[in-house]
A and B are shown apart, each in its own frame.
Chain A
Amino acid sequence: PGRQSGSLRAPNPGKQTLLWLVEVVKPFSLLLFLFLVFHFSQRFTTVVPESCVLIILGLVLGGIVLIANKKQLYQLDPGLFFLFLLPTIVGDAGYFMPARFCLYGAKMAGVIDDNVEAGLMEFLLFGALISAVDPVAVLAVFEEVHVNEMLFIIVFGESLLNDAVTVVLYKVYISFVEVGPGNVLTADYFKGVASFLIVSIGGTLVGLIFAVILAFITRFTKKVRIIEPLFVFLLVYLAYLTAELFSLSAILSMTFCGIGCNKYVEANISQKSRTTVKYTMKTLASIAETIIFIFLGISAVDKSKWAWDTGLVSCTLIFIFVFRAMGVVGQTWILNKFRLIPLEKIDQVVMSYGGLRGAVAFALVVLLDGEQVKAKDYFVATTIVVVFFTVMFQGLTIKPLVKWLKVPRSTNRKPTINEEIHERAFDHILAAVEDIAGLSGYHHWRDKWEQFDKNYLSKLLMRKSVYCKSELWEAYQKINIRDAISVIDQGGNILTSARLSLPSMASRTSFPEVTNVTNYLRENGSGVCLDLQVIDTNPGAKVEEETETHHFLAGNLYKPRRRYQSPYSRHFMTLGDQERQDREVFQRNMRNRLESFKSTHYKRHKKDRSQKKARSHHRLSHLRLLLTPRVKPTKSQLKGELSEPEKDEDVGITFVARKAAETPKERPKSVPAALEVCQSPSVAPPSPTCGEKNLPWKEGIGALPPCVSVEATKIIPIDLQQAWNQSISSLESLASPPVPQEPQHPRVSALHRLSVPPRPPVPPPPSRAKFQFPAWKDEEEEGTLSQQHREMQPLMPSLRPPPPPPPPSSAQSSGKRRNPCVYLRSLVTTPPSGSMPHSRGPTQL
């Protein structure tokens, strides 16, 4: 960082040489190091805003340099400031600004307070620059204070506009001063107003144009991911420079570029690029901020630059306060007439108090031409004092103030799926009611805009694969991924603490509420032992852009399986060694087979590329299988619909083998070893009944071996599952009595003697997917039965290699063919019996 700061200084117009550069680099690396230290010491920064610390640092450094050189070497150079430092900060803020609220921010349009002191043109000038609330300072402080989004956006939006106003006023006044007070005509004032409008509107337009260009470019960068972040930075910066070039409001331009392109760019670029952009922006912004504030400190030390005038300073301070407060109160009063949620008194107080003056004002005042503005030195002094006062004093006190006033703070929690759904529903309802009432209000126009966006803009600016997905779907996806990741995180804790089921609570700091799902996952589920290897090594997916997410997860989810092994082995302690070995052998075999399946599947998958629909279906089921978060106790009751068994089952991360749900066989709860499979009630005896024989997919599943990753079945797309089940069924038929040539484990034969239980009555398929829980009677006896059944199973798989997967089409259709009754029964999960506490645990691999 030190070097960077040095090079940033390079454009300084002074006669600095290499020596200078070296000289600068040293203290700056030191400073930035110090800054980092402060950053890390959280206790300190919770009390003192960073900007204060930085200014103090700057003071100290400036003092040192002054003592050493007798002359101030470093000065905040406005060119540097406007060209390099400001854009990084604003770019960061603009790009990450929550777009939904930007309208509110824009509504706030207005200069809060105007000229501090009137009279001479010089004072007008000074008033213009000192009255501007500085985006940099406000952002720095408000972000740390974590005021709620609303307040932040209002103040930020205001400071953005202030920038435009300030710069314009500044230029206008400068020209006035040049002309001389006597020669200013009334027309010039109008010119000033007009140029203000042009500057802000022009800046906005430039920003939007660049946003469109940027979005359009990123649409075609699929093959060259590396340049994506580069484009984002370059074009946003270009927007800034272009606006600056035409003397338009560069800050506005940049902000709107960020806001405008965010949606499309985010959708277009890859996950990695997204992260890169995010972190680079944040890093650059914080570096720039650091530099600005340090410069401020340094400049303040140099006495030759300013002259003190107590009257002016104190007057300015008082006026700043008074006018700010008046401005806020007056404008919120007007604004509240139009707003849904009136701005409260508290908000107004915070807004007035948050009027921090910062580096912008300082830079402008330093820029003044000493020849024409005689009082420049006084102005500089006053500005420095004002900046110091506002940043130091107000910055320090705003946090306690916010706390004390109980201003609603921003919360970091992400919306739940339900909230997303209802939020969207709200929007639509509002728009509809406005339509019905024949009004054209805010929602009406937003609705119109969304239509337009969907029909034209998105099509133009987004990649095809992206734009068709709705936001709700995205939200759903995000929530799923989040849950998945948090489960992983918790998995890590489990490893270290070696606790079985309750990973440390501390690990989930960021999702306080959502979490309920995650909670469940953690508590009972986190037996994330799915065998993701299968997918992990899948070569075809590298090509598939769409499976990116999936891979991301696959990569991450792989670990827990390992981690959970040790806890889970505890369950199996009771098993004899022999059985354990059998199981392991079996697992290995099955895994091999799965591998072969997988490869065949994916080859086919690749070929299918043209068949978009089929493929997307696969992808979906993949994702769903992997992702759907689920709540343990309810999950089984929730499964409702025949048409999508796979979706219901995949309740995700817990990876309970819902596959079993499709099976007619009994997997009663009383089985040990956590096979969720067992949870699904099965109607049929372990060996296939004749009725079931016609439905190969049906009979197969019953034989689902206990340790075979039930998960595995889940991960594989549904058609593959079918194939796999078929293979299993064939295996099972081999193991069953009619096939004597196979070596039989004693238990197997025992099982077959037992295994002719009567089929329990099948409940009529409910017409609607309502949750029900039919009485289940035969469970107990079948439970014991299937337990034995399961025990014998480890032997079976080694008997035969799996048959090749059937063509997808047939598999698909077989999926649809599922017997409704059977499926519904499976929905009705039998509760695990109390005696088997782990029966609901995750399956073991």
Chain B
Amino acid sequence: MDQIRNLHKRFKHLSHDEETLRKEDFDEISDLTPNPIRSQIIDAFFDKRNFGGNEVGRVQEIGFREFLTVMSHFRPLRQNLTEEGIERIRREKLRFLFNMHDKDSDGTITLDEYRSVVEELLSSSAAIEIETATAIADAAMLEVASVTVGEMAPGQVYEGITFEHFLEVIKALILKLHTLNIVSVTGSSTTTLHEPSTLMLHS
């Protein structure tokens, strides 16, 4: 509960004591400015897919409830989870990531979307030209295609990265980082999000 209170305080602070948060409020976070992919992250907060329902689309402003739901994607795993539970939560977390890259909500990360991701990632270093970013994205896409589809028929077209493919591609990464918690709000801070999301929604 403590964490929720803390988050609520933060929410109020960000929203200037309004009931809802808008995109502009996020822009005011000064620490966020140097982050190359901040727009993606901010968008994720306004994406209906991340609110738990099955809706698709975007909203202009979010309340505390939505804010919490999105943040809950970043909570660490609880220790007492079963294998299945861990697997489910991991999937949810990865789905969140995937949605972040899949801007048009069509279930695939197309080359276009992938390119823009890479470009944003590289945008902090000015010396990298856009072409380079594109080349990297292309190479990465080729890699995805080769990993997931394998030998493609000559006429076959790789439409984009589906969620399944996404899982497969970064499988090794997950294991490597041991990161089930995509985000660990941990460390020195006392404010960790330990509560299950259901709890949060009730609060």
Chain A positions near chain B (C-beta within 8 angstroms): 150, 338, 340-342, 413, 415-419, 421-426, 428-444, 447-448, 451, 454, 468-470, 472-473, 476, 479-480, 513, 516-517, 519-520, 616-617, 620, 624, 628-631, 633-635, 637-641, 643-644, 647-648, 651, 768-773, 829, 831-832, 840
Contact = CB atoms under 8 A, between A and B. Distances in A.
B125 A469 contact: yes
Given A631-B142, A641-B134, A425 B125 contact: no
Contact of B10 (A338, A426, A438, A476): A438
A426 B182 contact: yes
Interface residues of B toward A: which range?
35 or more
A440 B31 CA distance: 10
Given A340-B179, A638-B158, A640-B111, A628 B29 contact: no
A366 B153 CA distance: 71
Contact of B111 (A419, A422, A516, A638): A638
Nearest to A652: B139
Contact of A768 (B41, B100, B112, B139): B112
Interface string B33-74: 011111001000100000000000000000000000001001
A436 B29 contact: yes
A242 B178 CA distance: 38
Interface in B89-125: 97, 100, 110-112, 115, 117-118, 121-122, 124-125
A454 B10 CA distance: 29
A340 B111 contact: no
A332 to B, nearest CB: 14
Most buried by A among B26, B154, B185, B188: B154
B184 A476 contact: no
Contacts of B203: none
- Chain A, interface SS category: helix
A513 B128 contact: no
Contact of A432 (B35, B118, B135, B138): B35
B117 A425 contact: yes
B142 A633 contact: no
Given A417-B140, A431-B35, A338 B187 contact: yes
Interface of B: 7, 10, 13-14, 26, 29, 31-32, 34-38, 41, 45, 71, 74, 76, 79, 97, 100, 110-112, 115, 117-118, 121-122, 124-129, 131-132, 134-136, 138-147, 149-160, 169-170, 172-173, 176-189, 191
B77 to A, nearest CB: 9
21 contacts: A338-B186, A340-B181, A413-B172, A415-B172, A421-B117, A421-B121, A426-B177, A433-B185, A435-B29, A435-B35, A437-B185, A444-B31, A447-B34, A454-B124, A513-B172, A629-B143, A639-B138, A644-B135, A768-B110, A773-B155, A832-B154
Given A417-B139, A472-B121, A635-B142, A435 B170 contact: no
Contacts of A431: 35
A421 B41 contact: no
B125 A454 contact: yes
B144 A418 contact: yes
Contacts of A432: 32, 35, 37-38, 41
B142 A517 contact: yes
A469 B157 contact: no
Give 9 nearest A-B pairs by CB, closest first.
A468-B127, A831-B154, A633-B152, A516-B146, A341-B178, A441-B187, A435-B31, A470-B125, A442-B187
A337 to B, nearest CB: 10
B63 to A, nearest CB: 15
Contact of A769 (B31, B112, B124, B184): B112
B173 A437 contact: no
B189 A439 contact: yes
A773 B154 CA distance: 11
B71 A433 contact: yes
Given A418-B169, A644-B135, A772-B157, A630 B142 contact: yes
